[in-house]
Chains A and B, each alone.
Chain A
Amino acid sequence: MAIQIVMDRTGDSRHPFNPDDVQEVAKAEQRFYELTKAGFTAAVRTSSGQTSQIRMFDATAEQTLFFPRLVGG
C-alpha cells in the first residue's frame, strides 16, 4: 500500500491507496493535483533517507507528504 499524508491541525490526514488498483490510483492522482494546485508542497523520501520535492504524481512512491504554503513569521 502507498500512502498520501496531508499535514493539518490534527497532525495529519492519511489516505492509503493500492498502487495496483487503477481506480484508487486515479483518486490519489486527483488528490495530488488538487492539493498542489491549492499551494501544498509534495515531498517523498528517497531510499537513502533524503527528501525530495515532486511536482508530478508518482504512484510508486511509498509515502507522499503534503505541507501547506510557507509564510514568514
Chain B
Amino acid sequence: MFGFRPLLPGARSRLRATRSLFIRHGAEGTPEGRSLRLLQQWLSPSQREQFGRRGYFEVVGSDSGKRYRIHAGASVNVCEIDERGRLQEGLCFMPIGALPIGDVMLAQKIALETCEDKARAVARRFTPNGFHFRQTRPLG
C-alpha cells in the first residue's frame, strides 16, 4: 500500500555499513576528524587501546621517566601522574596556531616522549581537579 518492500537478506547490514562509511568519511573530511585519525596512527598499540577504552592515554617523559596522562582536549589536558595513577601537577602547553584537537594531543605526546624538559619549560602549571578531566567537558 505504501510501497514498503521487505529487505533482501543481508541488505540491512549493507545499509548499516554504507551509513557508517558515510559518517566516517564525513568525519574524516573535517580538520578534527583528520587530526584524530593521524593521532590514532601515531599512538603505540597500548596507547591506542587505552585511548579507545578510557578517553586518555599515557606517555613516559624522555628526560625524567615520569608518567603523564593526555586527555582529549586542546588545552589544560595534560597531567603528571604518580606510580599509582593519581593526578599530580597539570601542565598546559600546545603548539602554536589553531590546530585541531588530534594534532594538539599528538604534538603533546611527541614533545613529552622526545623533549620533555623543553615541554615542561614552556608549560603553564595548574592544579588538576575533576572538571579538567571529565570526559563530558567541552573540548578545547
Contact = CB atoms under 8 A, between A and B. Distances in A.
Interface of A: 5, 7-12, 41, 43, 45, 49-53, 65, 67-73
Would you call the interface of chain A mostly helix, strand, loop, or mixed?
A: strand
Contacts of B113: 50-51
Given A9-B100, A53-B115, A43 B92 contact: no
A49 B109 CA distance: 13
A70 B118 contact: yes
A8 B107 contact: no
Given A67-B95, A72-B124, 9 more contacts: A7-B95, A7-B97, A9-B97, A11-B103, A45-B42, A65-B42, A70-B119, A73-B92, A73-B123
30 contacts: A5-B38, A7-B35, A7-B99, A7-B103, A9-B100, A10-B31, A10-B34, A11-B30, A11-B38, A12-B34, A12-B38, A41-B114, A41-B115, A49-B45, A50-B44, A50-B113, A52-B114, A53-B110, A67-B95, A67-B106, A67-B110, A68-B96, A69-B96, A70-B107, A70-B119, A70-B122, A72-B93, A72-B122, A73-B76, A73-B123
Interface in B39-71: 42, 44-45
Contact of B99 (A8, A45, A50, A52): A8
A70 B123 CA distance: 9
Which of B32, B42, B95 has the most chain A CB atoms inside 10 A of its CB? B95
B110 A65 contact: yes
A73 B100 contact: no
A64 to B, nearest CB: 12
